[in-house]
Structure 1
Amino acid sequence: MNINYFLRKQNLLISKISIEFIRTDYIEHLRENEKLIGIIGPRGVGKTTLLLQFLKQSSQKYLYFSADDVVFQDLKLYDLVDEAYSLGRKLIVIDEIHKYKNWAGEIKNIYDSFPDIQIRISGSSMINILFEKYDLSRRLVLYKVPHLSFREFFSMQKFETFEKLELEDILENAEQLSSDLVFKYDDLYALFKEYLEYGAYPFFIEGKKNFSKKLFNALDKVINEDIPSLNKIDYAHVIIFKKLIFRLVEAEKPFQVNVAKLSREFGISEPTLYTYFEILEKSRIFTPIKKYSKKTSKKPEKLLFSNSNILYSYANEFDKEVEIGTVRETFFVNCFEKIFYSDVGDFRVGEYLFEVGGKNKSFKQIKDMENSYVVADLDYTVNDKKIPLWLFGFLS
């Protein structure tokens, strides 16, 4: 086997990669003193960039390659790693690992065979379905890479680093925080509007003109390739995923779920429909919102996209108008790891209630509720109980 092809290619890629903007938290994860670390996330969030930036700053001897490289298709993963190891390259970085058949079994074999090797892998959001089969769960440290937050997008635009905010900081100091930022950066609110349409994926820096089409193509590959291959879904059922997506896009308000009606419409059982919701959630296309309750339930009350860029991209492709109320709720919901639908107000996060709306949104629906806030689509506030929507984009 000639390893030189991969060494030449990695050197070219790393020489071209920029480290002007780095998602520091995720680079630090890759640097941790663990033998096997994986990063997973949806297409387009910058996993390859993270791996290359990590290597550009590494002092170790390494081998980087992508499992979807056509030259790699006829090779065995173990053999390539063995040759790299014999050359003193003990840091092995494999991109798109899910493209390699039986990857989990071979990674386990490599892990057990080379005591002082370090392995870094990237893959689809859904690859964890294979961990248990090969007992990788106790060997692999796994991190999820999300889309860019508004804070990260704003940092890239301003070539500055902005610290994350805690929720309590926002709730207690919304007036001061929003005023300070807006008066210092008078284009902040305009940039927020841009972010909603095309700022959640790092490839926006390649240009705005074709962003929507590029994102649609990436999403289409997830639906047509990743979901069927990683979940053993019959290709004939892929059309159901597409119909679900279309239902969200054409809805005149945030999509409320009627499981019985949808299962009849699509000709599938309710348990199968719930499984499809879970797959779309793991794929980071949908974010299902369940009702706040002490009882556990599979049923989501609302379905939203995992970021507003996805909504805009599909709307452009299907020639549909985007409903601004859905855009606002989509952004807000995806600022949180754990959020629930609420009968009073729109959403509940911990002990707090939130009503989301436009700049003129009133307190009418939540006026008698403790720990309640209006989240309004405005640039800054003079009332700590009426918080600018964009400010929640600084939580991550």
Structure 2
Amino acid sequence: MEELLEVSESMIRSTELNFRRYLYAEIDWSEKLIGIKGARGTGKTTLLLQYLNELQVPYNQKAYFSLDEIYFLSHSILEVVKRFHQTGGKIVVLDEVHKYPNWSQEVKNIHDRFRDLQVIFTGSSIIDISKEEGDLSRRAVMYELHGLSYREYLSLRHGIHVPKFSLEELLDPEFSIRNHFPDDFLPLQHFQAYLRNGYFPFAGVNEVIYFKRLRQLVRTIVEFDMAEIKGFDIRNGKKLLQLLYLVAQQVPFKPNISTLAERTLIHRNSMVNYLIYLAEARLIDLQYPAGFSVVTLQKPEKIFMNNTNFLFALSEKKPESGTVRETFFNSLMKVTHTVQYSASVDFLVGGEFHFEVGGKNKGNKQIKEKLTWIVKDDLEFPAGKSLPLWAFGMLY
């Protein structure tokens, strides 16, 4: 126990505070039970260590415990937190809870027994708290951390600090986004680099190594994290990797279930579930038409990779520019709004806004309604009903 606390204090003290993810400001830190889920590598651990670092309380009152520590193979969370509380503990972070069996029941017990203790836990994006034992869904306030937006990337990698704005502001013809940026701001200067290697905070200067790490990350998610999905047989992990690899070569596309089943040797009746597993792991994204609430029972209309970095890391050849454009738009927009399939344009957002995404030669023939816009990837600032693609990376 003492060693765990020593490791905790060391990690808290050494955590830098110069850059914070968007979610930091959105969390209500006054809540007593907070859950944060998200894909591997998005920065959940760093975010919570920053929170502990900034708390103006003695170190014996705050602690960070990673549940993949070997210590928890023979000691329960409840036992450790009880001892921490008895010695004056006030705030505890439990990282990687999905690595610990029956975690939700123990977290519930901790929350119910120690009412003056703040408990914050993190877990894989695969976690569905409503399906966990212990009925945490009525007790915990849940958040999800996504990858870096273009705005965050500019801040983290290049020290360029620019504001975020809402979709409604971007669509408002009276709102000039140009006036909200420095005069020397070049919006497209780093955009292509972001599309290739800017989504995850751990990206370095060596793109080859970064792509290798991304592929390793994908294998770890499929071969280890997905064991937590109820109904998924981890022995089928290889088939799931084959399916993901196949999807990466074709996205965005309207899936043919029979063809996918034939090429991956996954039974046709199981294919939709396998696609949903990949979506829950935040490896791909499934797009459905408006009006459908129970998506688990139907085939998606369109499939995207979760983000453009996965697209570049997993594709056999350089992805087509149209594929990159649509993947970026879908990836960043879905963090703040619902994105659905539209038969008339590329995207239906929030149930009312229509967007057609293209290059510089994209015409306005798709604009048949008032709430329709053309999104172009070579545009620096809005021009009438044409909007710059990069600007959708400023929504969070």
Q: What TM-score, normalized to structure 2?
A: 0.89
* Cross-structure match for 2:321: 324
Displacement after TM superposition at 1:72 (Å) = 3.1
With a CA cutoff of 8 Å and minimum separation of 6, indicate the structure with the bigger relative contact order. Answer: 1
Shift in alpha-carbon separation, 1:259–1:19, aligned structure 2, 3 A? same
> Equivalent residue for 1:20?
18
SS at match of 2:303: strand
Q: Is the 8 A contact 1:353 1:371 kept in 2?
A: yes
Instruction: Answer yes or no: is the 8 Å Cα contact 2:239–2:266 preserved in 1.
Output: no
Q: Is the 8 A contact 2:382 2:388 kept in 1?
A: no
Contact 2:197 2:309 in 1 (8 A): yes
Please state how far the C-alpha of 1:323 moved relative to its aligned partner.
Answer: 1.9
**Secondary structure at 1:275's aligned position in 2?**
helix
Equivalent residue, structure 2, for 1:309: 309
2:361 is equivalent to residue 363 of structure 1: no
Q: Give, as a single letter, the amino acid of the residue that structure 2 aligns with 1:34.
A: E
The reply on whether 1:45 has 2:42 as its aligned counterpart is yes
- The partner residue of 1:256 within 254, 261, 266 is 254
Aligned counterpart, 1:122: 122
In the TM superposition, 1:1-396 aligns within 5 A as: 3-23=1-21, 25-26=23-24, 29=27, 32-60=29-57, 61-128=61-128, 131-159=131-159, 161-173=161-173, 176-178=176-178, 181=181, 183-186=183-186, 188-204=187-203, 208-251=207-250, 254-268=252-266, 270=268, 272-293=270-291, 298-315=298-315, 319-334=316-331, 335-336=333-334, 337-349=337-349, 350-364=351-365, 366-381=366-381, 383-396=383-396
* Cα 1:296/1:57, change in 2 over 3 Å: closer
Alpha-carbon separation, structure 2, partners of 1:294 and 1:67: 38
For residues 352 and 22 of structure 2, the distance between their equivalents in structure 1, rounded to whole angstroms, comes to: 31
Structure 1 residue runs without a partner (length 5+): none
Contact 1:174 1:383 in 2 (8 A): no
CA contact (8 A) 1:363 1:374 kept: yes
TM-score (ref. length: structure 1): 0.89
The percent of aligned pairs where both chains have the same amino acid is: 34
Structure-2 change in CA distance of 1:351 and 1:148 (3 Å): same
Check the 8 A contact 1:172/1:384 in 2, yes or no: no
Q: 1:361 to 1:138 in 2, by over 3 A?
A: same
SS of the residue aligned with 1:147?
Answer: coil
Contact 2:248 2:305 in 1 (8 A): no
Distance of 1:4 and 1:106 partners within structure 2:
21
SS in 2 for 1:12: helix
**Rounded Cα–Cα distance in structure 2 between residues aligned with 1:259 and 1:248:** 12
Alignment CA distance shift 1:325-1:76 (3 Å): same
Q: Give, in whole Å, the separation in 1 of the partners of 2:208 and 2:179.
A: 32
State the alpha-carbon separation in 1 of the partners of residues 205 and 56 from structure 2. Answer: 29
Secondary structure of 1:254 counterpart: coil
Distance across 2 between alignment mates of 1:138 and 1:105: 13
Cα distance between partner residues in 2 of 1:39 and 1:201: 17
Q: How many residues align?
A: 387
